[in-house]
Amino acid sequence: MMAGAAGLSLGARHLAHAAGYGGDLTDVRAAIDRNQPQAVKRLQDWIGLASNAAEGRNIQEGAQYMSELLWSAGFQSVRVVQTDGSPGVFATMDNGSARTVGMYFMYDVKQFDPSEWSAPPLEGRIVDRPGLGKVMIGRGAVNQKGPQASFLAALHALRDAGRKPPVNIVLIAEGEEEIASPHFPQIVRRPDVLAALERCKEVWMPTAAQSATGDVTIELGAKGLIELEMTCSDKAWGRGAANDIHSSYKAMLDSPVWRLIKALNTLVSEDGNDPAIDGWFEHVQPLTARQKEIIADQAAHTPEAVLKHEMGVQRWVRDLPYREALERLASQPTVNIEGMYAGYTGPGGKTLLPSKAVAKLDLRLVPDQTATDAAAKLKAHLARRGFGDINVNVTGGYNPTQTDERSSLIRACVDVYRTAGLDPNLSPRAAGSWPGYIFTDPPVALPAGHFGFGHGAGAHAPNEYYVIDSTVPMLRGMAGATQGYVAFLYALERG
């Protein structure tokens, strides 16, 4: 769910240092190259099994497949963990190290419509992308199977080179990330999982952090999120008609569609850009001086025109200057309508008065908002205006998450990128969301973040891809990303 909101570049303040982690890794690199065909095939096969909680697609199968991937990568204990929703996977690998590292995986992917794709979304077809190299097209290619498969390839390569990974690993995977992880707390807060996480100093997730030009960004946090459906129905309201009825009756009957519009209208400012829900900003923290400094660096290092072109955008909200737009991206809570429907939506018209109207919303949260408080505030806001009968079904939520840039996790990220000659950029907070709060909030309370070389795009969109072989000088393909994960494990060992 993070993808699509990263990729803003920031100039570094430090020089890369020359020494690599793990000493001479020639043997591991050779193993990575040798295993590359199998690694690519492994990713393609995984893409072939799309799991999706929203549609109830391949849920048990996806968890089973995830555990087989972990077994085969050398985890000694792998357990499918049931929840009230989709199961997760809890796996551990004891390598006799003094250092234990926590990891977070997701095995689910976003829904897709094959008719919108240039290649079948579950085939994992490799195509030439001029100016980029060979990319694999597929649902989940970058979000998140590609980076995760590259990490698994690192474990295979270490074993193939006759090495043990330098750290012990505690890995927790879920299958509901794309519906905002409603049951993930049930997994993380199991006594056995909590006990395992107590041995860790951080939790991280493999990602493809490089932009198409090779720049890399480290996110120091992420916005929170609640996703919900608002349904206005005549049935709950006690007005209008029990079923869709001929539209001529509008003259004497109320309309749930107008009612939903009137209710939605109260949720945002006149231009639709600021939340207007009662008390919404009560716990919202302004950006710190340091966060503003980081954003100013972002603005200075990623040309506005480039970003606008990539996004297909002409103007920011309120025609804001670039830096202010970026500050909003990091700091502003949002109320977005991701989908909406009522009545007849086919070709032409159909003169009916609908008996139901639905809006799907996602609301991004910033520190110190919480998902629970946000949902309660929305419901209270509606009830106060007489819209208490409008059903608000919260399908998932994350708190915001924040990790200190001085933590050993972020220092390891920075060091490994620098060692590779990259100048890592910082972002104070991703505008996208991930369930990092489950690790950064009590009872776990650990730094949490993402690491990984490589690039992809199109998360949640058609033609999602992950770069397999890069023709861009500083941009790593899959094998390079795999090398990066090996180096990262050695860096964490020392951190």
- Compare residues 84 and 270 and give the one whose CB is closer to its own copies: 270
- Compare residues 42 and 145 and give the one whose CB is closer to its own copies: 145
* DSSP H or E segment with residue 222: strand 221-222
What is the closest distance, in whole angstroms, from the C-beta atom of residue 335 to its own copies in the complex? 8
What is the closest distance, in whole angstroms, from the C-beta atom of residue 353 to its own copies in the complex? 6
Q: Report CA torsion sign: 167, 173, 178, 179.
A: negative
DSSP track, 418-452: HHTT---EEES-BSS--TTHHHHSTTT---EEEE-
- Compare residues 162 and 347 and give the one whose CB is closer to its own copies: 347
What is the closest distance, in whole angstroms, from the C-beta atom of residue 436 to its own copies in the complex? 14
Q: Report CA torsion sign: 450, 454, 455, 460.
A: negative
- Compare residues 139 and 156 and give the one whose CB is closer to its own copies: 139
What is the closest distance, in whole angstroms, from the C-beta atom of residue 410 to its own copies in the complex? 21
Task: Give me the amino acid identity at 421.
Answer: G
Bridge partners of 100, per DSSP, are 168, 200
Cα of first residue to Cα of last residue in the chain, in angstroms, is 28
What is the closest distance, in whole angstroms, from the C-beta atom of residue 427 to its own copies in the complex? 12
Phi, psi of 121 (to 5 degrees): -65, -15
Residue that is written with structure tokens 């025109």 in the block: 305
- Compare residues 201 and 235 and give the one whose CB is closer to its own copies: 235
Question: Closest by alpha carbon to 132, among 418, 476, 485?
Answer: 476
What is the closest distance, in whole angstroms, from the C-beta atom of residue 177 to its own copies in the complex? 11
Answer yes or no: are the C-beta atoms of 308 and 314 closer than 8 Å: yes
Q: Which pairs with CB-CB distance under 8 Å and at least 24 residues apart come from 268-272? A: 268/335, 271/317, 271/318
What is the closest distance, in whole angstroms, from the C-beta atom of residue 175 to its own copies in the complex? 13
- Compare residues 35 and 52 and give the one whose CB is closer to its own copies: 52
Task: Give me the amino acid identity at 240.
Answer: G
- Compare residues 203 and 241 and give the one whose CB is closer to its own copies: 241
CA neighbours within 13 Å on the CB side: how many for 25?
Answer: 26
